[in-house]
């Protein structure tokens, strides 16, 4: 089983090779930590230099047990190959789980690290986990009898109690 993740590779900042600014031809590859054979790549940005901009959407299936998505910025070399500029490992927990709904759009920035484990720029991305059609909420199928929270006396059925009442704690101490 897997989830569909829609990642937009926006831009990068302050990219360097051998401590010198990059002059062009950069692109990004994206893959999850569990699937080394499946990866996606952006188009080459030949104009941005050390501050490239791709604004390109990559859609990939990420297994449920995946812990990281690896984003690697590469630079085309003259010998028809490419060399790594920097890598960022993005924890899947940064955009899946917690208090945010799964289809929430997240704008994230991560530090890139080169092969010698030195800081080498920042990559800016946006991520959205696509919700399957059958799991999305439909008004007709929604149960209106579900109640969340506890009614507050005097406020009607719409009030909700949150946190620990400080007055109650003070009252117990005075007894």
User: What is the token pair recorded at 35?
Assistant: 């699937």
Backbone angles phi, psi at 144, to 5 degrees: -85, -5
Per-residue pLDDT tens over the stretch 89-118: 999 888 887 777 778 899 999 999 988 888
Q: What pLDDT is attached to residue 171?
A: 45
Per-residue pLDDT tens over the stretch 131-169: 776 544 544 444 434 444 444 555 555 555 455 444 444
Q: Considering only 23-27, 64-68, 152-156, which range has the smallest mean pLDDT?
A: 152-156
How many angstroms separate the CA atoms of 10 and 127, rounded? 10
How many angstroms separate the CA atoms of 31 and 18, rounded? 25
Higher pLDDT, 64 or 170: 64
User: What is the token pair recorded at 103?
Assistant: 């289809």
How high is the mean pLDDT of the chain? 77
Fold adopted by 2-129? Immunoglobulin-like (2.60.40)
Q: pLDDT at residue 34 above 50?
A: yes
Q: Considering only 34-38, 67-71, 132-136, 140-144, which range has the smallest mean pLDDT?
A: 140-144
Indicate the pTM of the whole model: 0.71
């Amino acid at each position: 089983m897997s989830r569909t993740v829609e990642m937009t590779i926006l831009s990068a900042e302050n990219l360097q090779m051998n401590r010198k600014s990059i002059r062009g031809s950069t692109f990004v590859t994206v893959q999850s930590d569990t699937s080394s054979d499946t990866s996606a790549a952006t188009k080459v940005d030949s104009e941005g230099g050390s501050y490239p901009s791709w604004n390109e959407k990559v859609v990939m299936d990420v297994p449920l047990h995946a812990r990281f998505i690896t984003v690697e910025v590469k630079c085309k070399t003259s010998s028809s190959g490419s060399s790594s500029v920097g890598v960022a490992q993005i924890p899947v927990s940064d955009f899946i789980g917690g208090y945010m709904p799964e289809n929430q759009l997240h704008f994230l920035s991560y530090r890139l690290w080169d092969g010698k484990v030195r800081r080498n720029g920042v990559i800016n991305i946006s991520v959205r986990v696509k919700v399957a059609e059958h799991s999305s909420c439909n008004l007709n199928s929604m149960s209106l009898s579900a109640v969340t929270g506890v009614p507050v006396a005097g406020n009607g059925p719409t009030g909700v109690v949150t946190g620990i009442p400080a007055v109650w704690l003070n009252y117990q101490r005075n007894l």
